[in-house]
Amino acid sequence: MSAASALGACSGVQSALDPAGHEAREVASLFWVMVVGAAVVWTVVIGVAIYATRLRPDPHEDIVGHRLILWGGVAFPTVVLAGLLVYGLGLMPKLREAGEGLRIDVSGEQFWWRVAYRPKEGEPVLSANEIRIPVGERVEFALTSPDVIHAFWIPSLGGKVDMIPGRENRLVLKAEKAGVYRGACTEFCGASHALMAFDVIAMDKPAFEDWLGSRPADPARAKGRDLFTLHGCGACHRVGGTEAKGEVGPELTRFGQRKTVGAGLLPNTPENVARFIRETDVLKPRSKMPAYGALSPDDALEIARWLGSLK
């Protein structure tokens, strides 16, 4: 029962102890094995210390001490550590198997994620701040950064890898359960390092294939769209099917499908999006996007509604 409650305490969309992927599950098992071992070792060592300082009436012979050093200090740790090392080394290549076809390029940028799906066949699909993957397939992530070092981590699925300017790292993850998980940047990357997260949606494979292969709906004609154009948003953002072709900021095609705005910052509601447009500098310190405080709340809301309609 205590184990069950302990496991309950570990659940969460961002928890390494609530694994939903092959790599995370292997590591979580390793962790629990080590926890049990560590608990035993700690109890014995501290037990000996308390016995030696508080409980024992008379000094033991020196030979007892020598034996303690030899067996407790040398022989036992050597054997245990060797076993653990062999376990860990055996695991390392298994956690870096090759992918099975789908490759997703992710670039960490201050302070958001640029995403490009590169299926084996077909055109790349661009996105940002949200990643969809099929369940049951080893997906390969190609990770880099144009500005500073970030790190890409989806605790529920597996370990993290740094995104280093000038280098391209790779990470292979296999989701085992459909669901929504949360990833975060784990390498300190500047003022808004804390505000750099993303959602991961693991979907059944057919649903994923449909999603990836389908064309986005044509963007609606709306007041929000005109305001978006008027205020020059298209200089930085791209919206497929419109004249907005910017590549500096996050891709906004299908923005309406995303769960959050601002890289995991706020739930994707029109009110939050409008707020993000007007108060970027407050919500996300040192973000490259200027705050459009001069925009009236109504206009911002119009833009937000239009963005929300992009699916």
Partner 1 sequence: MIASTRANLITLITAPTIWAIHFLVCYLSASVNCAKALTDARVFTGADWPDVTGARIAIAIATLAALAAIAWSSRQAWGHWADGDAEPPYDDATFDDRQQFLGFATILLCGLSFIGVIFVALPAVFIGDCR
Partner 2 sequence: MTEATRVPSPQDDPELRKAQEARLEKVWETPSGLRYWSAVNNSEVGLWYTATALFFFLFAGVLGLMIRTQLAVPGNDFLSATFYNQVFTLHGTAMMFLFAVPIFEAVAIIILPEMLGARDLPFPRLSAFGYWSFLLGGVFVCGSIFFNAAPDGGWFMYPPLTTDEKQTGIGADVWLLGLSFIEVASIAAAVELIVGTLKCRPPGMRINLMPLYAWYVLVVAGMILFAFPPLIAGDILFELERMFDWPFFDPKRGGDPLLWQHLFWIFGHPEVYIVFLPAIALLAMIVPTFAQRPILGYSWIVLAAVGTGFLSFGLWVHHMFTTGLPAISLAFFSAASEAVAIPTGVQIFVFLATLLAGRVVYSVPMLFAIGALGIFVFGGLTGVMVALAPFDWQAHDTYFVVAHLHYTLVGGMFFPLMAGLYYFYPFAMDRKLSDKLGKWGFWLMFVGFNVTFLPMHITGLRGMPRRVFTYAEGLGFDTLNMVSTVGAFTFAAGVLVVTWDVLRPKGKEPYAKRNPWNAGTLEWLSESPGKDWGVRTVPVVTTRYPLWQQPNFVRDYDEGRFYLPDAEEGKRETLITSVLDARPIQCLRVPGNTFMTMGAAFLTGGAFIAATFYQWTLTIGFSIAALISILIWLWRGTAVIPEKKEKDVGLGLKLPLYVSGPDSVGWWAMFITMIGDMSAFASLIFGYFFYWTIHASAFPPAAGAGPGQFWPAVALVLTLASWGAMLLARRANAAERPGGLRFWLTGSAVLAVAGGAALLWGPHATGLDPTSHVYPATVWVIAIWTAVHLGVGVVMTLYCLARSIGAKLTAEHDIDVHNVLLYWHFAMVTMAVTVAVLALFPLAVR
Q: Which class for 132: exposed (0-12), middle (13-18), buried (19 or more C-beta within 10 A)?
A: buried
Residue 107 near partner 2 by CB under 8 A: no
Interface residue with partner 2 among 36, 60, 247, 293 (CB under 8 A) is 60
Residue 98 near partner 1 by CB under 8 A: yes
Q: 199 has which bridge partners?
A: 130, 182
Binding mask 158-177 for partner 2 (x = CB under 8 A): xxxxx-xxxx-xx-------
Tell me the two tokens of residue 46: 């501290």
Residue 93 near partner 2 by CB under 8 A: yes
Say which entry of partner 2, partner 1, none residue 164 contacts (CB below 5 to 8 A, set by partner kind).
partner 2
Cβ closer to partner 2: 224 or 264? 264
Size of the site for partner 2 (CB under 8 A): 90
Say which entry of partner 2, partner 1, none residue 7 contacts (CB below 5 to 8 A, set by partner kind).
none
Say which entry of partner 1, partner 2, none residue 182 contacts (CB below 5 to 8 A, set by partner kind).
partner 2
Tell me the two tokens of residue 145: 């950064």
Cβ closer to partner 1: 55 or 64? 64
Residues 170-229 that bind partner 1 (CB under 8 A): 170
Residue 86 near partner 1 by CB under 8 A: yes
Interface residue with partner 2 among 126, 149, 178, 222 (CB under 8 A) is 149
Residue 63 near partner 1 by CB under 8 A: no
Nearest to 263 by CA among 129, 158, 114: 129
Write down the least CB distance from residue 182 to partner 1, Å. Answer: 26
Residues in contact with 241: Cβ distance below 8 Å, sequence separation at least 6, in sequence order: 216, 218, 219, 253
Say which entry of partner 1, partner 2, none residue 142 contacts (CB below 5 to 8 A, set by partner kind).
partner 1
| Residue 32: Cβ within 10 Å count | 13
Query: Per CB under 8 A, which region of 52-60, 95-103, 196-204, 299-307 contacts partner 1?
Result: 95-103
Say which entry of partner 2, partner 1, none residue 86 contacts (CB below 5 to 8 A, set by partner kind).
partner 1
Query: Per CB under 8 A, which region of 65-73, 115-123, 248-256, 300-308 contacts partner 2?
Result: 65-73
What gap in Å lies between CA 94 and CA 97, rounded to an integer?
A: 6
Residue 141: asked if its preceding bond is cis (omega within 30°), the reply is: no
Write down the H helix ranges in 51-75.
62-67
Say which entry of partner 1, partner 2, none residue 250 contacts (CB below 5 to 8 A, set by partner kind).
none
**173-196 exposure pattern, b = at least 16 Cβ within 10 A, e = fewer:** bbbbebeebbbbbbbebeebbebb
Q: Which class for 95: exposed (0-12), middle (13-18), buried (19 or more C-beta within 10 A)?
A: middle
Residue 164 near partner 1 by CB under 8 A: no
What gap in Å lies between CA 216 and CA 254, rounded to an integer?
A: 7
Q: Which class for 301: exposed (0-12), middle (13-18), buried (19 or more C-beta within 10 A)?
A: buried
What gap in Å lies between CA 138 and CA 140, rounded to an integer?
A: 7
Contact set with partner 1 (CB under 8 A): 66, 74, 78, 81-82, 85-86, 89-90, 92-93, 96, 98-99, 103, 140, 142, 168-170
